[in-house]
């Protein structure tokens, strides 16, 4: 049996991080977690490109542009969709998730999903460094591992 799994070192790897400014109280915590994870894993600050976009709807477009530029080993998408009084959230959640997945598949590039979809701000904060961890950390860890899996499968 042949088994492939990804390493956890980010040394020498380049990462694009797309982060939404909307719900900044949450997204800045996701970003801090992702950056800290990448640096602790050996990435250099010069290997990180942070792209800020207005909201979660714009995340896939920025991820697409990063992928087309071809300078990143992986792209990490971070945002926070918090349910409000209208059905705007329902339309965005599935649209953003599908569009991010499409970028990954179109470019055969690791693109990770760190976009929270929660009912309340409290739930979002609990997933952005609160009692349920930090999904920015998890998205960064997944990106590192997927780069190594991709390289192993391509060699």
- Which SS3 state, helix, strand or coil, does residue 10 take? coil
Please say if 107 is a catalytic residue.
no
CA-to-CA dists, residue 116 to 45, 65, 107, 113, angstroms: 25, 22, 23, 9
Q: At what angle do helices 88-107 and 59-69 cross, to 10 degrees?
A: 10
Which H/E stretch holds residue 32?
A: helix 24-40
Q: Which of 88, 91, 107, 148 is catalytic?
A: 88
**Smallest Cα–Cα separation from 69: which of 122, 16, 10, 5?**
16
Catalytic residue annotation: 88
């Amino acid at each position: 049996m042949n088994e492939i799994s990804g390493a956890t070192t980010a040394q020498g790897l380049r990462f694009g991080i797309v982060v939404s400014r909307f719900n900044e109280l949450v997204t800045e915590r996701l970003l801090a977690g992702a950056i800290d994870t990448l640096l602790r894993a050996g990435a250099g600050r010069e290997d990180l490109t942070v792209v800020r976009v207005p909201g979660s709807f714009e995340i896939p477009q920025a991820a697409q542009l990063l992928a087309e530029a071809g300078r990143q080993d992986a792209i990490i998408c971070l945002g926070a969709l918090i349910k409000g009084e209208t059905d705007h959230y329902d339309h965005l959640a599935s649209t953003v998730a599908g569009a991010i997945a499409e970028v990954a598949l179109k470019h055969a590039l690791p693109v990770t999903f760190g976009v929270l979809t929660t009912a309340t701000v409290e739930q979002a904060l609990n997933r952005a460094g609160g009692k349920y961890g930090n999904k920015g950390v998890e998205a960064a860890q997944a990106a590192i591992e997927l780069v190594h899996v991709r390289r192993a499968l391509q060699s």
